[in-house]
């Protein structure tokens, strides 16, 4: 028996071939998402660090008007867009301290939620691939076993030769389903962990910004 991949592909039925094509597309899609998200995360982290460096002198002195005039320069990253939303709310906030702080806090929270939602883009697809690929491979396994029994019925023999092609077909689809699922699950876990960590960073940065806002309104006016 010839067990080369080309021969096995030629002897496969239509359904197992469709299953392998589907698994291949799932694998390509998961790789594209992982690479795109990694590049996006690296870019956003770099821009966020640059934004923090630009605003550190003004915020360190509690000079919110100066910070509000500085935030639009350059790329912002996820941190810059959140703090930028807070600075925008500060510009238009009413003079009353409590109302202003509450308005700025809501702006920070809304922007942080939008940023986290954007950072999670594509992760649902990774989770779907990771959870469904083994079952798609299992479907191919079932079809391969069915094919093996069909060969047995045709030949009237229960030996290994007549059923070996079907068994090989079943094992290949099982292995392929696992090969697609494992990187997708690993990529999802890593990327989701990164997003969760950025959520903590954004919450801490927002609270620190609100502390600066509170001190600004509590400072005696000249």
How far apart (Å, rounded) are the C-alpha atoms in residues 103 and 86?
9
pTM summary value: 0.83
Q: Which regions in the chain score pLDDT beneath 50? A: 1-2
191-214 per-position pLDDT tens digit: 999 999 999 999 999 999 999 888
Residues 6+ apart with CB under 8 A from 25: none
111-143 per-position pLDDT tens digit: 999 999 999 999 999 999 999 999 998 888 888
How far apart (Å, rounded) are the C-alpha atoms in residues 87 and 91?
6
Q: Which of 75, 77, 88, 41 is nearest to 209 (CA)?
A: 88
Are the C-beta atoms of residues 139 and 19 closer than 8 Å to each other?
yes
Are the C-beta atoms of residues 140 and 19 closer than 8 Å to each other?
yes
Are the C-beta atoms of residues 2 and 166 closer than 8 Å to each other?
no
Q: Where are the domains of the chain?
A: 5-217
Radius of gyration of the chain (CA): 28
Placement of tokens 């030996």 in the chain: 159
């Amino acid at each position: 028996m010839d067990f080369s991949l080309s021969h096995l592909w030629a002897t496969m039925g239509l359904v197992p071939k469709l299953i392998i094509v589907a698994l291949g597309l799932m694998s390509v899609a998961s790789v594209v998402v992982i690479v795109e998200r990694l590049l996006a995360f690296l870019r956003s982290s770099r821009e966020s660090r640059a934004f923090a460096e630009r605003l550190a002198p003004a915020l360190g002195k509690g000079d919110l008007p100066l910070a509000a005039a500085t935030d639009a320069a350059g790329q912002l990253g996820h941190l810059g867009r959140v703090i930028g939303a807070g600075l925008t709310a500060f510009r238009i906030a009413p003079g009353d301290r409590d109302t202003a702080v509450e308005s700025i806090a809501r702006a920070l929270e809304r922007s942080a939620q939008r940023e986290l939602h954007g950072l999670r883009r594509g992760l649902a697809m990774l989770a779907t691939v990771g959870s469904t690929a083994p079952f798609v491979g299992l479907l191919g396994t079932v079809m391969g076993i069915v094919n093996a029994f069909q060969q047995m019925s045709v030949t009237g023999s229960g030996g290994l030769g007549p059923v070996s092609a079907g068994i090989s077909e079943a094992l290949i689809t099982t292995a392929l389903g696992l090969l697609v699922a494992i990187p997708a699950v690993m990529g999802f876990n890593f990327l989701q962990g990164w997003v969760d960590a950025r959520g903590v960073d954004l919450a801490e940065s927002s609270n620190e910004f609100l502390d600066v806002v509170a001190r600004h309104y509590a400072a005696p006016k000249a």
